[in-house]
Amino acid sequence: MKKFYTLLLLLAPLLNYGQYTLKGRITDAENKSTIPAVVVQEKTSGKQTKADASGTYLLEGLSEQRAQLTFFAFGYKTVNKTITLSNKETTFNIRLEPLSEQMNEVVVSEEYESDIVRLQAVEKSAIYEAKKNEVILAESLSANKASNNARQVYAKVPGLNIWESDGAGIQLSIGARGLDPSRTSNFNVRQNGYDISADPLGYPESYYTPPVEGLKKIEIVRGASSLQYGPQFGGMVNFVMKDGSDSNKPIHVQLRQSGGSYGFFNSFNALQGKQGKIHYYTFYQHKQGNGWRENSDFDLDMYYGTLSYHPTEKLSIKGEYTHMSYLAQQAGGLTRVQFEEDPRLSYRNRNWFQVDWNLFALTVDYKFNQNLSLNLRNFGLIGGRDALGNLQRIDRPDNIDENRNLFADDFANFGQELRLLYRYQVNGRPAAFLTGVRYFRGNTHRMQGDASPSEKPEFNFLHPNNVEDSDFDFQGTNLSFFVENVFNVTDRLSITPGARLEYIATDAKGYYQDKILVPDPETGLAMDSTFKVYEDKRSTRPVLIGGIGVSYRANAALEVYSNFSQNYRPINFNDIRVNNPNLVVDENIMDERGYNFDLGIRGGNKKVTFDVSTFFLKYNNKIGNIYVVDENYDAYRLRTNVANSIHVGLEAFGEINFMEVFNAPSADKQKVSLYTNLSLTNARYVNTDNNAINNKQVEQVPPINLKTGLLYKYDNFKTSLQFGYTHEHYTDATNAEWTPTEVEGLIPSYYVADLSMSYQYKFLVIEGNINNLTNNMYFTRRATGYPGPGIIPSEGRTMSLTLEVHF
C-alpha cells in the first residue's frame, strides 16, 4: 500500500499536466456593475459554470489550451470568445453589452457563417425558450432576391409546403404540417412585430409580402407561438425590416437593378443612415413583367420608410409606413389535358387582380432599468383587394359576352399591443417573466357582383348600390391577455409555462342573393326568381389556451427541447359568407381547436449545425373541402368541418462545412457546405363516420418534402445549387384522383433545381440566377377560385441578372 501512495505522488505532476483553470469577473459594459448568474460554457469540453453574486466565475479541469467560451445572460448580448490558456491559472475578465433596440439580437458565432440561425431564449420583448424556430438572415442568402423566390428563401426551413402562383414573388403562400398554404393564412404574419394580414382572425390572408432586398431577417416560430402571438396552428412569421441601425455613416445609398426572362424588371433603391440619436431606412421598388404564361402581366410599386429616435438610453421611438399597390393579370387554371398540351397556355384573358395596401406603425420601447422593459406597438391597415374575372369551371369555354364576377374587399384595421418583460432571479438563477395585452378592431366591407364583360381591368360594379351576389360588413374585435415565464431549474434545465386568454367577437351584417322556385301566377309552372336574404349575425366567445416548454442544454453546442401548446382557429369571413360556383359553405361550420407538440434536438458549431425534431399536431373540427353528390346527382365542393385529424412527422435540417471539417488552411476565405432539409409527414382524418374520408390523407400534405443544396464561396464570390423534391399529395379530403372541374385531384410528385451566384467587388455586386434549371413542367396547386379555377402551372426555366451599386 505504501508503494501505491508513493507511485501516486510521483505521478501527480503528470496527472495535473495539461489541466487548466480559468477564472474572471463579468461586468456590465455600460455601468461597470458586476453581473451575477452569467452562464459560462466551454464548447470543446462541454464544461459549464455560473458566475456568483459578485460576477466571479471559475472553470477548472480544462484539458485543451485553446478554450472556446460562450458567455450568456438574460438581458445581455451573448458573447463567443476563443482564448489561449497558460499552464497555471488564467484570468479573463469580460464586459457584456445590454441588449437594446439598436442591436441585432440574433447571435451568429464568430466561427460559423450561415444564412439560418436560431432565436435566443429571450429577445427584446419576447420569449422563445424551448420553441422550435428558425431565423433566415436575408443578406446572407444565396437566392433570387429580386423575384422573392420562396422555394429558395425558405429552403432551409423544414416542413414547408410552398404554392407557386406567380414568378415575381408578389404573394407568399406557405403552409406547414398539413395546413393550407393559401396566402400563408395558417400563420400569424407580422412585420417588425405587428400584423400585416387583412384580419388576423376574421380573414388571415396576406396580400402583402415585403421584398427580401429590404429585409434584415425572417423569424419563423412554429405552433408554440400561439401563446404570445395568437391562435394560429402554423405559427408566426415575422419579417424584420432593415432600419439603418447597422449603418456607420449618415447617408448610405443602395441601387439594385434586375432584368430577366419574359420582360421581368425589378428596380430596388434604398437609402439609410445613422446620425446621433436618429437612424432611418427607406426604399422604393418597382417590379414588372409579362409572366411565363400568357395573360400573366404584372406591375408593382412599393414604398417603405422608417425613422427611429433614441432621446435617451432608456427610450426608443420608431415610426413606419408601408405602401404597396399592384395590378396582375391572371391566366386562370387549366385542365389536365390542357396542362399536358402546353402549360404556358391560358384560356382566360379577362381575369385581373389588384391590391392597395397601406400599413402604419408606431413602436415605443422603454427600459425602466436593467431588469424591466416595456414595448408598445400601435399599428393600422387601410387597404383593399379586388378580384375580377370568370370563376366558372375551367372545362367550360369563357363566354366573352357574359358579365364577369367582381369580388371587392376594403379593410380598415387598428390594433395595439403592450408587452412587459421582467428579468429576475430564482435561487441565484436567471428567470424571465413576460406579460402582455392586445386589442384589435378590424372592419371589412365585402361586395360581390357583376362587372363588365370586357377584357380590361375595370374594377367597377355594374350596379354598385345593388350588387347581385352579396354585400356585407364584417367586424372583428379581439382582446387578449397572455403570460409566459422562463424558469431555470438548474444550470442546464429550463421550464417555460404560459397561457393566453382571448375574447373574440365576429359580426356579419348584410345580404346575399339566392334563387328559389316560385309558382308562376299565369301558367302555374315553377320559375326561377332571385331574392335577397338579409343577415345580421354576431358570434362572441372567450378562448383560453395554455402550453409548456422544456429545454435541456447539454453544453453550448447541444440542446434538447420540447413544447406543448394548444391552438385555436376561429372561422373566418370566407366561412361565413362567400358565393363561389365551385364551392358551397356549410352553414353550421364551427371553430377549430387542437394542439402542437414538438420534441427535438438542435445545436452545432463551425463544422456542423443541425435541428432534428418530431411533431404531433391534433386538429379537431378541421375545416376542409370534400367532393359530394346531392340527391339530384349534382356534384359540388363542400367546405365544412370535415373531421378530426392527426398529423405526425419528422422535420430535419443539417448543414456541414467541409472546409472546417477537414481543417483546410483557406477556411477563412473559402467555404464548401452542403445542407439537407427533410420532412416526413403522415396526416390522416380520424374519428369520423364519413367513410369517404375516414383514414384518408389530409389535403395539402406532401408525405415527403426534400430540399438539398451545395454552396461554394471563395472570398467575395458565391454560388449555390439547390434541388427540391415534393411527393404527390391530394387537394381534397376524399383524396379524389381527378374530377371534371379539375379543382380536386392529385398533385403529382415533382422536382425543381435552381442555380444562383454572386460576386462583390468593393461597392459593386453582380448576381445571376437560373430558376428551374432543368425546365421541369409541374404544378403545386389546384385553385378553387382566383386565379383559377383548375391547375395552376409553375414557371419553367427563367433567368435574371442583378447589378447593385452601393456607396
3-state helix/strand/coil string of 671-683? EEEEEEEEEEEEE
Say whether pLDDT at 16 is over 70.
no
For 715-776, strand residue ranges (E) read 717-726, 729-730, 746-747, 750-761, 764-771
In the CATH hierarchy, which top-level class contains the domain 17-98? mainly beta
Counts of helices then strands in the chain (DSSP H, E): 6, 45
Phi/psi-derived region of residue 623, left when phi > 0, alpha when psi is between -120 and 50, beta in every other case? beta
Say whether pLDDT at 100 is over 50.
no
What's the pLDDT score for residue 11?
39
- The Cα–Cα gap between 585 and 564 comes to 32
CATH, range 229-806: 2.40.170.20
What's the pLDDT score for residue 447?
95
Mean pLDDT of the chain, nearest integer: 89
Q: Which is higher by pLDDT, 8 or 378?
A: 378
For 452-591, strand residue ranges (E) read 470-488, 493-519, 526-555, 558-569, 584-585
- The Cα–Cα gap between 646 and 687 comes to 10
Q: What is the DSSP string of 144-158?
A: -TTTT-HHHHTTTST
Strands 89-91 and 20-28: parallel
What's the pLDDT score for residue 71?
87
Neighbours of 333 (CB within 10 A): 31
DSSP state of 698: P
Helix or strand holding residue 10 (H, E): helix 2-16
Neighbours of 506 (CB within 10 A): 24
- The Cα–Cα gap between 443 and 82 comes to 55
What's the pLDDT score for residue 104?
33
**Across 110-125, average pLDDT:** 76
- The Cα–Cα gap between 143 and 153 comes to 6
> pLDDT tens, 302-338?
999 999 999 998 999 999 999 999 999 999 999 999 9
Of 179, 25, 192, 135, nearest in space to 596 by CA: 179
Judged by average pLDDT, the poorest of 16-20, 243-247, 440-444, 774-778 is 16-20
Question: What is the band of 574 on the pLDDT scale with cuts at 50, 70, 90?
Answer: confident
- The Cα–Cα gap between 300 and 439 comes to 32
**Across 178-205, average pLDDT:** 92
Judged by average pLDDT, the poorest of 111-115, 514-518, 668-672, 732-736 is 111-115
Q: Which grid coordinates are listed for 746?
A: 392529385
Say whether pLDDT at 8 is over 60.
no
Phi/psi-derived region of residue 164, left when phi > 0, alpha when psi is between -120 and 50, beta in every other case? beta
What's the pLDDT score for residue 15?
39
What's the pLDDT score for residue 517?
59
What's the pLDDT score for residue 525?
58
Of 702, 655, 659, nearest in space to 679 by CA: 702
% pLDDT > 90, the chain: 63
**Across 492-498, average pLDDT:** 96
What's the pLDDT score for residue 583?
66
Q: Which of 18-22, 242-246, 631-635 has the highest mean pLDDT?
A: 242-246
Q: Which grid coordinates are listed for 616?
A: 404531433
Q: Which is higher by pLDDT, 535 or 191?
A: 191
% helix / strand / coil in the chain, to the nearest 5? 5, 55, 35
Strands 764-771 and 750-761: antiparallel
Question: What is the band of 555 on the pLDDT scale with cuts at 50, 70, 90?
Answer: confident
Domain locations along the chain: 17-98, 229-806
Say whether pLDDT at 106 is over 60.
no
Q: What one-letter code names the amino acid at 749?
A: S
Say whether pLDDT at 178 is over 80.
yes
**Across 24-33, average pLDDT:** 84
What's the pLDDT score for residue 556?
77
Say whether pLDDT at 7 is over 80.
no
- The Cα–Cα gap between 493 and 553 comes to 7
**Across 361-370, average pLDDT:** 94
Say whether pLDDT at 542 is over 80.
yes
How many residues make up the chain in this entry? 807
- The Cα–Cα gap between 321 and 361 comes to 7
Tell me if 433 sits within 8 A of 386, measured CB to CB. no
What's the pLDDT score for residue 3?
45
Say whether pLDDT at 110 is over 50.
no
Q: Which is higher by pLDDT, 604 or 655?
A: 655
What's the pLDDT score for residue 634?
67
Cα–Cα distances in Å, from 311 out to 277, 279, 318, 361, 750? Answer: 6, 12, 11, 19, 55
- The Cα–Cα gap between 749 and 735 comes to 15
- The Cα–Cα gap between 691 and 538 comes to 34
Query: Measured between alpha carbons, how far apart are the two ends of the chain, in Å?
Result: 78
Q: Which is higher by pLDDT, 58 or 774?
A: 774
Helix (H, G, I), strand (E, B) or coil at 548: strand
Say whether pLDDT at 105 is over 70.
no
> pLDDT tens, 678-690?
999 999 999 888 8
> pLDDT tens, 196-218?
999 988 899 999 999 999 999 99
Say whether pLDDT at 397 is over 70.
yes
302: Cα separation from own chain's centroid: 20
Question: What is the band of 1 on the pLDDT scale with cuts at 50, 70, 90?
Answer: very low
Helix or strand holding residue 248 (H, E): none
Q: What one-letter code names the amino acid at 314?
A: K
Say whether pLDDT at 579 is over 90.
no
Strands 558-569 and 592-604: antiparallel
Q: Which is higher by pLDDT, 54 or 737?
A: 737
Tell me if 511 sits within 8 A of 531, measured CB to CB. no
Q: Which is higher by pLDDT, 395 or 339?
A: 339
Say whether pLDDT at 692 is over 50.
yes
What's the pLDDT score for residue 704?
97
**Across 129-149, average pLDDT:** 92
